[in-house]
Amino acid sequence: MESPPDRLVLTDELRRAERHAIVSRLSSVFAHLIGTPLNVIAGRAALIKSNPESAAALENASRIEQQVERLAFRIRRLIDYWTMVDVDHALVDVEAIVSDALALQRPVAAARKLEIVVDTSGLPSRSLERMSTLVVLTNLLSLSTLVAPPGSRIELSVTAPDPDSVLFEFTVPGFEPPASRIDRLDPPEEDRDRSRAERLQVLSVCHAVAEQRGAHLDVRSADRAQIRFRCPTR
């Protein structure tokens, strides 16, 4: 168990990693949203230049190309600047990572009259990337404590389904899977519920962090809603 000063340092490290994850995710979405229209505009300008109807059309097409190139350059610089920060890739035993996540989130759950129950029985010793795994686990636990009704139990099962991965499965009372895809960050067309928006934001950022590290996050809804986070071992 970590001491309070160590826990404060870990909390600060997590905040830094989360800032990086959020900025990276938004930069990726922004680049996709802007990049596609810019390519179309540049393509149309090139077509006009290839067969201009007048000198004015040729000049206008050239100006369009210049402005598109200028905007694309500035966007690339902005994205490079905001995504240049990297986080710690140290490998730690999975049980230590789970212990850190619980040390940070169990007090929050207790304050909200919730219980976090964890089952790691039979889990063999495996190593995972500490910081990225903690970013996902703590955010998923935080989200779980927000949506679960007081007096309920949040269940976390940690297993090793094969020699190359570790699977975290969250069962969260009151959790409703979002209607939108979590691998994107497009706002729903009709839904303006802030709590649903926050749920989608958290899941989308966690999905992006997982994807960057070769992991996978998905949401399932059968008898009980589950959030599944599968990590490759190192």
Contacts of 163 (CB under 8 A, 6+ apart): 233
214: left (phi over 0), alpha (psi -120 to 50) or beta: left
Tokens 């749920």 appear where? 199
Q: Given a cut of 90, is residue 178 above it in pLDDT?
A: no
The more confident residue out of 87 and 184 is 184
User: What tens digit of pLDDT does each residue of 155-171 get?
Assistant: 999 999 998 999 999 99
The pLDDT assigned to 172 comes to 92
- Segment 134-145 shows an average pLDDT of 92
Contacts of 102 (CB under 8 A, 6+ apart): 116, 118, 141
- Segment 17-38 shows an average pLDDT of 74
3-state helix, strand, coil in the chain (%, to 5): 55, 20, 25
Q: With bands split at pLDDT 50, 70 and 90, how would you rate the model's confidence at 141? A: very high
